[in-house]
């Protein structure tokens, strides 16, 4: 089968690898019809995620058709159309029983490695380093799904792949980020980063009763999408974010702040240079400009919610702000299984159509180009959906052609 | 486990031995002027004895024999000091004072030695003439009840399912079992072991019988977690290491040491008990692995092929 394989920093190749097979009774094999590139995949692409090995198949947002089930899977059958959540969760352990699926105790066969870095191990994830299980990912034609009786959710044929695919990660991630803000009717919520997670955070915050959402980014297309989603847009290259946020809230600050940027955050000036130097010297693992701002901007007693990925040690993070201003900080990998059902209902009832984030649909064979385009925000790229069974563009037709098709398809 | 205080006391005595030994070897004259007795040669040989004893206490897992050796040394020193208490000795006063001091130290040595002899291992396996050079404890929390955990462990057919280096276990008689480890037929290790404690629903203890290549003893306790939150499974193992301390340290670095292996076995026990299977990625598709990737699999740093 074809799969997108990681061979090192900025080195991806779509190549032929063996097809997956059932290894455990509760496994299933899925034939993937749609898979997406996540913003967090860019951290792997950029070489920021420890524990990757050359030869790893990446990707953790995927859906398709069940083609084989192990004897331990009773609730799925061959032919079912499902969306798969990115954390792998057993459903039996202490955390799964509390519906904290991304903290499953039994799904990371390399738990010892995560324990070395973080003290304890979270759940195994698809295609996200050996420290998080070393599971082959879903940017491929097929994938093996462990604990398939717990993870995948069946989706009705009346909905397109594009409408339900993001139940695998970014929609629940944006939703959980907003839910963690404990939003009261009329609250003001500020969101750093208007990529897919930021955009879903905006939509979710409004669904949960926020009176006002302020979105912060620097790319005009992303800010336009944020405005379309119902937010007021701030371009941090044009205004002083802290000043404007204070001004917009009468000096008090937003009731909740969501950091949807993560460890490759971009910033100018002294701190920007400082972070880049320290990160390149491996004195700092993550660049957190958005988190620094959120901790300063949030109102006294407010909540800072962090759906963004941070991996290790952060520098110059104003912890005193949390203590002296009684902030609540919430984070965590998304407990996707908890949200898939309710969010599918929102999609079915027409309250939200997650396909609004898609800017590009490409064959899987274009994955390496798509990663570069997404990383560099070329061609207004916000979300790429990869089609594993779509033929590569014919000789002569270039990437531009495939993009053109998508744009027609969208509008 | 010996308490922290006993361990600290033993270490203190070890350093005391080292310091005294060094003083006796390097400056016998000074020692003689303080104690009032001793020829340089006698003092130097006593110094060598002290130094060896001190190093023994400080470097060996089980300090008991070395602490007893201190007691024997104390008796020898007291005998030497007694000769200095004769009225003709000019340093008689200093000798009497030193005699009292050494007697006091001997009492402390004897108490420490007795403590480590008594508490050489876990309460469940103490009294077993076990080879207890190395010792470790590890534990894991499971969502199952102590009874379920005990039943799963007591069914010996389950053991090779989660103990990775084990090929089979056969029952010989009511209390004795024959274990076979994985390996080629020429290097295959086998041993007999007997159950020394069996408390249904709460604990098991065992030890290898004479002649085992890897003598060991162990116990597993199924302790109810607070508020009905399942069980804390506590495992303690005593074993004699193959090779010396350096080999053991290297094995630990490469995650090939017994403790690491037992910790991973315990994770598999929990996975099997809770989920019915053991999480793995071995046998899944991958691209071409580099030398690092192949080494990572060989050294079991990842379960992926």
- What's the pLDDT score for residue A268? 75
Least confident of A166-175, B52-61, B112-121, B157-166: B112-121
Asked if A146 lies within 8 A of B279 by C-beta distance, the reply is: yes
Asked if A112 lies within 8 A of B275 by C-beta distance, the reply is: no
Radius of gyration in angstroms for the set of CA atoms belonging to chain B, rounded to a whole number: 26
**Which of residues A411 and B139 earns the better pLDDT score?**
B139
Q: Domain for residue A66, yes or no?
A: yes
Strand order from edge to edge, sheet including A212-217: A232-235, A212-217, A188-192, A256-259, A303-306, A328-331
Q: Domain for residue A23, yes or no?
A: yes
Q: Which of B230, B267, B285 sits opposite A136 (nearest CB)?
A: B285
Q: How many CB atoms lie within 10 A of CB A264?
A: 18
In terms of DSSP bridges, do strands A256-259 and A232-235 run parallel, antiparallel, or are they unpaired? unpaired
pLDDT digits (tens, 9 = 90+) for B218-248: 999 999 998 888 999 999 998 876 666 677 7
User: Tokens for A343?
Assistant: 């969010």
Q: How many CB atoms lie within 10 A of CB B50?
A: 24
Asked if A17 lies within 8 A of B287 by C-beta distance, the reply is: yes
Q: How far is A332 from chain B (nearest CA, A)?
A: 22
User: Tokens for B46?
Assistant: 């006593």
User: Tokens for B149?
Assistant: 């955990």
Q: Domain for residue A411, yes or no?
A: no
> For residue B153, what are the CA distances in angstroms to A105, A277, A394, B156, B161?
20, 54, 60, 7, 11
Mean pLDDT of all residues in B93-122? 81
Within 13 Å of residue A188, how many CA atoms lie on the same side as its CB?
Answer: 18
- Residuewise pLDDT in 10s, chain A (411 residues): 999 999 999 999 999 999 999 999 999 999 999 999 999 999 999 999 999 999 999 999 999 999 999 999 999 999 999 999 999 999 999 999 999 999 999 999 999 999 999 999 999 999 999 999 999 999 999 999 999 999 999 999 999 999 999 999 999 999 999 999 999 999 999 999 999 999 999 999 999 999 999 999 999 999 999 999 999 999 999 999 999 999 999 999 999 999 999 888 887 777 778 888 887 777 777 889 999 999 999 999 999 999 999 988 888 899 999 999 999 999 999 999 999 999 999 999 999 999 999 999 999 999 999 999 999 999 999 999 999 999 876 654 455 544 444 443 433
Q: Does residue B263 sit at the A interface (CB-CB below 8 Å)? A: yes
Q: If you write DSSP's letter for every residue of B142-203 in order, what string do you get? A: ESS-HHHHHHHHHSGGGHHHH-TTEEEEEE-SSSEEEEEESS-TTT--EEEEEEEEEETTTE
User: Tokens for A275?
Assistant: 């972070």
**Which of residues A183 and B133 earns the better pLDDT score?**
A183
Mean pLDDT of all residues in B182-188? 73
Q: How far is B287 from chain A (nearest CA, A)?
A: 4
Considering the domain architecture, whether residues A132 and A219 belong to the same structural domain is answered as no
Q: Does residue B286 sit at the A interface (CB-CB below 8 Å)? A: yes
Considering the domain architecture, whether residues A254 and A349 belong to the same structural domain is answered as no
CATH code of the domain occupying B134-298: 3.30.530.20
Q: Which of A19, A97, A107 sits opposite B143 (nearest CB)?
A: A97
- What are the two backbone dihedrals, phi and then psi, of residue A47, each rounded to the nearest 5 degrees? 80, 25
- A247 burial (CB, 10 Å; 0-12 / 13-18 / 19+) is exposed
Single out the residue in A309, A331, A353 at which a domain terminates.
A331
**Domain count within chain A:** 2
Token look-up 């340290």 returns: B249
3-state secondary structure of B237: strand
Segments forming the whole domain that contains residue A44: 2-169+335-406
Residue ranges with strand state E in chain B: 134-142, 166-171, 176-181, 190-199, 203-208, 216-224, 231-239
Asked if B296 lies within 8 A of A105 by C-beta distance, the reply is: no
Within 13 Å of residue B250, how many CA atoms lie on the same side as its CB?
Answer: 6
Q: Which of the residues A2, A17, A23 would you substitute to probe the B interface, choosing the one with the greatest number of B C-beta atoms within 10 Å?
A: A23
- What's the pLDDT score for residue B193? 93
Instruction: Give residue B120's pLDDT band: very low, low, confident or very high (50, 70, 90).
Output: low
Considering the domain architecture, whether residues A156 and A11 belong to the same structural domain is answered as yes
Beta bridge pairs of residue A87:
A125
Single out the residue in A285, A310, A331 at which a domain terminates.
A331
Question: Which residues in A324-338 are b (16+ Cβ under 10 Å) and which e?
Answer: ebebebbebbbbbbb
User: Tokens for A97?
Assistant: 């029983």
Considering the domain architecture, whether residues A165 and A190 belong to the same structural domain is answered as no
- What's the pLDDT score for residue A404? 43
Considering the domain architecture, whether residues A307 and A184 belong to the same structural domain is answered as yes
Q: Which of B284, B289, B296 sits opposite A136 (nearest CB)?
A: B284
Considering the domain architecture, whether residues A197 and A285 belong to the same structural domain is answered as yes
Q: How far is A385 from chain B (nearest CA, A)?
A: 22
Percent of chain B with pLDDT over 90: 33
HEC per residue, A140-206 = ECEEEECCCCCCCEECCCCCCHHHHHHHHCHHHHHHHHHHCCCCCCCCEEEEECCCHHHHHHHHHHH
> Which of left, alpha, beta for A9 (phi over 0: left; psi -120 to 50: alpha)?
beta
3-state secondary structure of A368: helix
Single out the residue in A287, A316, A331 at which a domain terminates.
A331
Considering the domain architecture, whether residues A261 and A134 belong to the same structural domain is answered as no
Q: Which residues of A touch B277 (CB under 8 A)?
A: 24-26, 72
**Which of residues B124 and B220 earns the better pLDDT score?**
B220
- Residues A355/A162, Cβ–Cβ less than 8 Å: yes
Considering the domain architecture, whether residues A67 and A216 belong to the same structural domain is answered as no
Asked if B143 lies within 8 A of A92 by C-beta distance, the reply is: yes
Considering the domain architecture, whether residues A226 and A127 belong to the same structural domain is answered as no
- What's the pLDDT score for residue B245? 66
Considering the domain architecture, whether residues A158 and A196 belong to the same structural domain is answered as no
Q: Taking Cα atoms as reference points, which of A262, A287, A259 lies closest to residue A198?
A: A259
Separation CA A382–CA A28 (nearest Å): 31
Q: Domain for residue A305, yes or no?
A: yes
Q: Which of B141, B230, B279 sits opposite A109 (nearest CB)?
A: B279
- What's the pLDDT score for residue B125? 43
Asked if A23 lies within 8 A of B282 by C-beta distance, the reply is: yes
**CATH number of the domain to which A202 belongs:** 3.40.50.720
The ipTM, to two decimals, is 0.90
Q: Taking Cα atoms as reference points, which of B30, B138, B79, B279 lies closest to residue A111?
A: B279
Mean pLDDT of all residues in B67-79? 89
Considering the domain architecture, whether residues A103 and A23 belong to the same structural domain is answered as yes
Considering the domain architecture, whether residues A77 and A158 belong to the same structural domain is answered as yes
Q: Which of B230, B271, B286 sits opposite A106 (nearest CB)?
A: B271
- What's the pLDDT score for residue A394? 60
- What's the pLDDT score for residue A399? 52
Instruction: Give residue B206's pLDDT band: very low, low, confident or very high (50, 70, 90).
Output: very high
Q: How many CB atoms lie within 10 A of CB A355?
A: 18
- A54 burial (CB, 10 Å; 0-12 / 13-18 / 19+) is middle
Q: Domain for residue A63, yes or no?
A: yes
**CATH number of the domain to which A157 belongs:** 3.90.180.10
Separation CA A189–CA A196 (nearest Å): 17
- What's the pLDDT score for residue B304? 85
């Amino acid at each position: 089968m074809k799969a997108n394989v990681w061979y090192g920093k900025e080195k991806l190749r779509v190549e032929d690898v063996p097809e997956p097979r059932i290894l455990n009774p509760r496994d299933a094999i899925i034939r993937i019809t749609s898979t997406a590139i996540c913003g967090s995949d860019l951290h792997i692409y950029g070489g920021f995620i420890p524990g990757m090995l050359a030869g790893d198949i990446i990707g953790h947002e995927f859906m398709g058709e069940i083609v084989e089930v192990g004897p331990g899977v009773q609730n799925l059958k061959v032919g079912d159309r499902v969306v798969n959540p990115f954390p792998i969760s057993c459903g039996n352990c202490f955390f799964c029983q509390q519906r904290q699926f991304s903290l499953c105790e039994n799904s990371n066969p390399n738990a010892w490695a995560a324990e070395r870095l973080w003290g304890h191990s979270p759940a195994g994830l698809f295609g996200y380093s050996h420290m998080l299980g070393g599971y082959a990912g879903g940017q491929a034609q097929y994938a093996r799904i462990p604990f398939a009786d717990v993870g995948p959710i069946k989706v009705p044929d009346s909905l397109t792949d594009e409408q339900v695919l993001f139940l695998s990660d970014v929609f629940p991630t944006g939703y959980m980020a907003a839910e963690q803000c404990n939003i009261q009717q009329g609250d003001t919520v500020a969101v750093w980063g208007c990529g897919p997670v930021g955009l879903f955070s905006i939509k979710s915050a409004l669904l949960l009763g926020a009176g006002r959402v302020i979105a912060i980014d620097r790319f005009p297309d992303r800010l336009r999408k944020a405005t379309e989603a119902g937010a007021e847009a701030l371009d941090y290259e044009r205004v002083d974010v802290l000043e404007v946020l204070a001004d917009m809230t009468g000096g008090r600050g937003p009731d909740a702040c969501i950091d949807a940027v993560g460890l490759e955050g971009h910033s100018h000036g002294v701190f920007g240079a400082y972070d880049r130097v320290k990160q390149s010297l491996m004195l700092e693992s993550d660049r957190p400009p958005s988190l620094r701002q959120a901790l300063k901007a949030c109102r006294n007693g407010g909540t800072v919610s962090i759906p963004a990925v941070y991996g290790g040690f952060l520098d110059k993070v104003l912890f005193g702000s949390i203590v002296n201003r009684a902030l609540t900080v919430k984070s965590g990998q998304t407990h996707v299984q908890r949200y898939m059902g309710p969010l599918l209902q929102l999609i079915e009832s027409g309250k939200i159509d997650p396909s609004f984030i898609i800017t590009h649909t490409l064959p899987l064979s274009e994955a390496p180009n798509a990663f570069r385009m997404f990383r560099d925000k070329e061609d207004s790229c916000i979300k790429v959906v990869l089609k594993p069974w779509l033929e590569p563009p014919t000789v002569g037709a270039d990437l531009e052609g495939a993009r053109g098709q998508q744009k027609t398809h969208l509008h | 486990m010996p308490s922290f205080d006993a361990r600290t006391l033993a270490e203190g005595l070890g350093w005391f031995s080292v310091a005294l030994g060094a003083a006796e070897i390097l400056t016998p004259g000074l020692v003689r002027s303080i104690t009032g007795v001793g020829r340089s040669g006698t003092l130097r040989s006593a110094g060598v004895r002290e130094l060896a004893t001190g190093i023994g206490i400080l470097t060996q897992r089980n300090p008991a024999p070395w602490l007893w050796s201190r007691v024997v040394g104390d008796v020898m020193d007291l005998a030497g000091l007694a000769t200095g208490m004769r009225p003709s000795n000019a340093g008689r006063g200093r000798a009497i004072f030193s005699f009292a001091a050494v007697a006091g130290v001997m009492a402390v040595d004897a108490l420490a030695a007795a403590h480590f002899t008594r508490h050489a291992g876990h309460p469940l396996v103490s009294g077993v003439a076990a080879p207890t050079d190395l010792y470790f404890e590890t534990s894991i929390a499971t969502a199952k009840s102590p009874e379920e955990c005990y039943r799963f462990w007591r069914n010996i057919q389950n053991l090779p399912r989660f103990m990775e280096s084990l090929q089979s276990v056969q029952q010989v008689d009511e209390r004795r079992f024959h274990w076979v480890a994985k390996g080629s037929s020429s290097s295959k290790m086998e041993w007999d072991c007997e159950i020394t404690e069996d408390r249904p629903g709460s604990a098991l203890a065992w030890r290898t019988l004479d002649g085992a290549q890897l003598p060991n003893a162990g116990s597993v306790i199924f302790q109810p977690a607070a508020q009905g939150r399942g069980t804390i499974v506590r495992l303690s193992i005593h074993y004699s290491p193959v090779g010396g301390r350096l080999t053991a340290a290297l094995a630990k670095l490469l995650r090939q040491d017994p403790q690491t292996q037992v910790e991973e076995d315990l994770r598999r026990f929990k996975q099997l008990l809770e989920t019915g299977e053991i999480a793995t990625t071995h046998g899944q598709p991958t691209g071409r692995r580099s030398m690092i990737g192949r080494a990572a699999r060989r050294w079991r740093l990842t379960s992926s092929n």
